[in-house]
Structure 1
Amino acid sequence: MFEAKVASGNGEQILSRDVYRLGHRLDFFRMFSFFFSTVGHYFSTMVVVLTVYTFLWGRLYLALSGVEGGAKNQSISSKAVGTILNQQFVIQLGLFTALPMVVENSLEHGFLPAIWDFLKMQLQLASFFFTFSMGTRTHFFGRTILHGGAKYRATGRGFVVEHKRFAENYRLYARSHFVKAIELGVILAVYASYSPLAKDSFVYIALTISSWFLVVSWIMSPFVFNPSGFDWLKTVYDFDDFINWIWSSGGAASEANKSWEIWWYEEQDHLRTTGLWGKLLEIILDLRFFFFQYGIVYQLGIAGKRTSVAVYLVSWTFMIVAVGIYVVIAYAQDKYAAKKHIYYRVVQLVVIVLTVLVIVLLLEFTPFKFTDLITSLMAFIPTGWGLISIAQVLRPFLQSTVVWDTVVSLARLYDLLFGLIVIAPVALVSWLPGFQAMQTRILFNEAFSRGLQISRIISGKKSTA
């Protein structure tokens, strides 16, 4: 939260009249000094993340459009050149970014102590921490530039050895890290499925290893540095608490930490105060989620290798039907689930039978394949999130209509899905033996780690007595 507060403040600075005047009136060298000692660090960090986004979206476009495959077929392969480039990649991997720090420490402490400090930082997972911090600065700095609205955030001075529940971590980092990491992960997965270059494992690793590290860091860092973050029992309790928070109806006197709906509305506060250009830019940025559908529908078997725009337009019927089915089931649940439960079950049965019947007819009379169902999820789930994001921008026009209730209900399901995706690797690591002790040793010194283990043994004996 402290990083978010400072990043938002620097975003407001870069929009201020004072910075504008200083930037125009200082000489070249003083202007550089002013830039890099104030807003420059945050601006450079944002450019790094935007570069990753541009690179991955560009590679995905080349793969889905077939340009990458055509370029590969026309290129002249040379094993000698490939070997040279592979060796160069291995040497450069992470070296140039860490070289300034190693050189500076070498001048102050000597070469061997500098190397040892660098290795110790990696063992303490410093790369995870600073990569996650980079995402925090980028999100709040960029959002403040687009919409303004920097505000005071009570960071507090709480005791550091305190386990934070999963729901609290999700509320803090869902929009700034988790959703973005899932987006990049989906891009990398789709690229691996449809890129001809991804068939060569080394080429794919060389192109995407840093991006995968970014995804893992943004998802796992809040739990890696969370005391007892990989304790299985605490993970189970955290999951139950998260589910209760998601489905809590809230109320007029409720707070964001007790109701998902209150938190969801608070996350849109910056869209209420932004201007027309801010809303327009937000909608343009949200349109990127539609590209998944545009690129993947042409790869489905039912498309029959057709490339006309009609294929993309027809694919929207799936979105309309899917939303229609959800609205029907939600309406039946609200009206019949409590008192006339048999009617609700009849509606569910009719929907399931009709869905199965349509799938059977498609398999029989069209080039539709059963794998198209799984592949289409990668296309239409991002489209749904894009529609929800645009609906949040258009909230003043939609909130008084019946559409808004559907938007809120679908957004709840998406946050539930995102939460399950994030907690899945945490639960896996918590279930495997040894990771909890390893995390405790990384976070705390040896004496505290030993005392923590003894306290667990004592508390376990008390609970069984």
Structure 2
Amino acid sequence: MNIFNRVIYRNEALRVAFIHTEEVGAAGGKVTKEFYSKLVKADAHGKDQEIYSIKLPGDPKLGEGKPENQNHAIIFTRGDAIQTIDMNQDNYLEEAIKMRNLLEEFRGNHGLRPPTILGVREHVFTGSVSSLALFMSNQETSFVTLGQRVLAKPLKVRMHYGHPDVFDRIFHITRGGISKASRIINISEDIYAGFNSTLRQGNITHHEYIQVGKGRDVGLNQIALFEGKVAGGNGEQVLSRDVYRLGQLLDFFRMLSFYFTTVGFYVCTMMTVLTIYIFLYGRAYLAFSGVDRGISREAKLLGNTALDAALNAQFLVQIGVFTAVPMIVGFILERGLLKAIFDFITMQLQLCSVFFTFSLGTRTHYFGRTILHGGAKYRATGRGFVVRHIKFAENYRLYSRSHFVKALEIALLLIVYIAYGYIDGGGVSFVLITLSSWFLVISWLFAPYIFNPSGFEWQKTVEDFDDWTSWLMYKGGVGVKGDNSWESWWDEEQMHIQTWRGRILETILSSRFLMFQYGIVYKLNLTGKHTSLAIYGFSWVVLVGIVLIFKIFTFTPKKSTNFQLMLRFTQGVTALALIAALVLVVVFTNLSVPDLFASILAFIPTGWLIICLAITWKRVVRSLGLWESVKEFARMYDAGMGMIIFAPIAMLSWFPFISTFQSRFLFNQAFSRGLEISLILAGNKANVEV
């Protein structure tokens, strides 16, 4: 007996609806498919017994899968109310007894109109697995209690969020159903039931005397995929007609409440990260132009302390931690002030600030990409009870473009500020001004590995490096997935750029990388105090030369083996000439060793700009025959970024106590003990094989 039959046999009242597909032979020998919506139960012998079978005109899955499944099954429901339960939710006997009380709320007085959706709170029971599970559990608990309580009353803007809410069945099946299924635009399908109900003069309430258990995501990758899906769904909501109509019809104050509790939260999150970029690029501009030094001197001469304080203001980017404020308020209400302070300090020791700052980047990336290019897609998080070691390459694939690239860009801006900026007060003032920015960089670069089980275990680190290098060098092709090949993954990462509008916006945004080269060139000892544009033009000549040299050293002919000797000779002569030219330039000009490092700092962002523009205008680059060169150039950049991230992890993995400390701090005692036992068993297995 399979699991399906076992479940319906043990629960006599359970009915299961599903879509059945049959292949039918036509007159001309052509096989066609017929689709049926069926309802089954278990008979006395444990076999499934068909109750209803309705032939459908075609494949019902035209849009998103989950809402289409709800829409085809709703015809089999009976009674006046429907409760929606997700597969990761549980129920308890004492809570089920309260269901009659909850259904009576449909007859209660909840304002001008009777309720159409009864909101139910949730009890997240996976918080004890790890620190990440605890963070998500506390954040979710604050939202489904304190948050939704306020949204329902007095704000009157609570929607349906995929939780165990109870619907007025007659109201909703006569007004468009309980979920919308249009592809892409309804990627967050649940909340549209709330939009639908509110637009049709419904009333959504929230009740906390009854709750349903819920298992939340416990791994960082699951959490990131879920937050990415929700952020992309909010990006699509901005473009939807439902949000437009609600904005038009709600009164001003209710409209503001609706905005800041739906898409406005993600808009503010994105604006926070954009403010970080504006601040750091502004500081870099002041450093390159020398304006910061001039302003500081003028402020000292005039005694203008306000101007000096404004220039040297500390910029706090710990807005990610501010998302935890409702959670802290919930702690105070439910546990008391002292217990709330103790729990908050404990969470800080478990690096909750790192997690919330990392989540800030996740939401910003997926929301911003959806706004720029559209095309949000459903990301299956699995919702499994999985706490396992994630390989370095898998983390790199998932977070490379959303976090790592942006963190390294911010790090370059901070390095520029160190090298060329003027700070009154020396190193201490610099640390105070940029500490939170460096914290952002470290969080975005290393959070996936800090929260990774066995992330600092030496044997796992060695295996991860071998896996990452093989993935990086594996050639792509037809049928090769991105999980197996860097080339296939790189092609998949470009799929979102489809429209002319998106290409133009990407070109405009990528042009910011030009500022690095333009500013650093005029700060070299070699250029002195010259400010001619010819110097900037000559820097591009040098860059083209570097690219040609790179092409010579990476060129691998496939057609003729006789050309190998000539190629090796050319590469050797080029290398010797390059070394000789570098020595002559250092000896006979003002070029210094710091200038060489500054040139690298200038050309790295420009190279990334070239890659971004080549990806954006892929067809043009292909027509010029330069696509393979761009691909090798991009592979080199990914290899470099991977090494920058991997080196600190490898260094920390040398020390065994780091891994033990990580397991004890970030995971519960039972998991840590099981992890130690598994490592011992793995070692014994290796000895047996030897």
- Give the TM-score category using the shorter length: over 0.9
Q: Could you tell me how far apart the structure 1 residues matched to 2:513 and 2:288 are?
A: 14
Instruction: For residues 402-432 of structure 1, give each alpha carbon's deviation from its aligned partner in whole angstroms, at most 9, with x where no partner exists.
Output: 1111111101111111111111121122223
| 2:355 aligned partner | 129
The aligned runs of 1:17-166 (5 Å cut-off) are: 17-76=241-300, 97=322, 102-166=328-392
Q: Partner letter of residue 227 of structure 1?
A: P
TM-score by structure 2 length?
0.63
Considering only aligned residues, what root-mean-square deviation do their CA atoms show, in Å?
2.8
State whether structure 2 residue 537 is matched by structure 1 residue 310.
no
Identity %: 51
Name the CA shift for 1:229/1:166 in 2 (closer, same or farther; >3 Å): same
Q: Which protein is richer in helix relative to its size?
A: 1
Please say if residues 336 and 343 of structure 1, whose CA atoms lie closer than 8 Å, have aligned partners that are also in contact: no
Task: Report the equivalent of 1:444.
Answer: 667
Aligned length in residues: 460
CA distance in 1, matches of 2:242, 2:377: 19
1:371 and 2:622 equivalent?
no
Amino acid at match of 1:190: V
Shift of 1:337: 9.5
Match of 2:448 in 1: 222
Question: Structure 2 vs 1, CA of residues 410 and 198 (structure 1 numbering), >3 Å: closer, same or farther?
Answer: farther
Deviation at 1:125, TM superposition (A): 1.2
2:296–2:424 CA contact under 8 A, matched in 1:
no
Say if 2:455 is the partner of 1:235. no
CA 1:199–1:235 in 2, change beyond 3 Å: closer, same or farther? farther
Q: Is the 8 A contact 2:237 2:243 kept in 1?
A: yes
**3-state SS of paired residue (2:531):** coil
Alpha-carbon distance between aligned partners in 1 of 2:392 and 2:518, rounded to the nearest angstrom: 35
Any unmatched runs of 5+ in structure 1?
A: none
Q: Structure 1 residue 158: deviation in Å?
A: 3.5
Q: How far does residue 341 in structure 1 lie from its aligned partner after superposition?
A: 4.1
Asked whether 1:388 is paired with 2:611, we answer yes
In 2, Cα distance between equivalents of 1:391 and 1:36: 38
Structure 2 counterpart SS, 1:197: coil
> Which deviations, in whole Å up to 9, do the C-alpha atoms of 1:231-250 show, x marking residues without a partner?
11111111111111111112
Aligned counterpart for 1:177 among listed residues 403, 428, 451: 403
1:193 aligns with 2:419: yes
Summarize the Cα distance change of 1:238–1:92 in structure 2 as closer, same or farther, 3 Å threshold: closer
The separation in 1 between residues aligned to 2:484 and 2:315, in whole angstroms, is: 49
Q: Which has the larger radius of gyration?
A: 2
Q: Which residue of 1 aligns with 2:205?
A: none
- Does 2:573 match 1:347? no
Q: Which residue of 2 aligns with 1:456?
A: 679
- Structure-1-length-normalised TM-score: 0.92
Q: Cα 1:96–1:434, aligned 2, differ >3 Å: closer, same or farther?
A: closer
Distance 1:110 1:433, change over 3 A: same
The verdict on how the C-alpha distance between 1:9 and 1:100 changes in structure 2, with shifts beyond 3 A counting, is closer
Which one-letter code corresponds to 2:231 in the other structure?
A
Determine the C-alpha separation between the residues in 1 that align with 2:477 and 2:582: 41
CA pair 199-399 structure 1, distance change in 2 beyond 3 A: farther
The structure whose RCO (Cα within 8 Å, separation 6+) is larger is 1
Matched, 1:203 2:426: no
Q: Report if the CA contact (8 A) 2:314-2:433 is conserved.
A: no
Which amino acid is the alignment partner of residue 292 of structure 1?
A: F
How far apart in 1 are the matches of 2:564 and 2:295? 59
Distance change in 2, residues 1:198/1:323 (3 Å): farther
Contact preservation (8 Å) 1:192, 1:198: no
Cα distance between partner residues in 2 of 1:11 and 1:222 = 25
1:419 equivalenced with 2:642 (yes/no) = yes
Deviations 1:74-120 (A, max 9, x none): 222889999x99xx979999999477654553343222111101101
Report the AA paired with residue 429 of structure 1: L
- 1:17 to partner: Cα distance: 2.6
CA distance in 2, matches of 1:92, 1:267: 28
Structure 1 residue 48, shift from structure 2 partner:
0.9
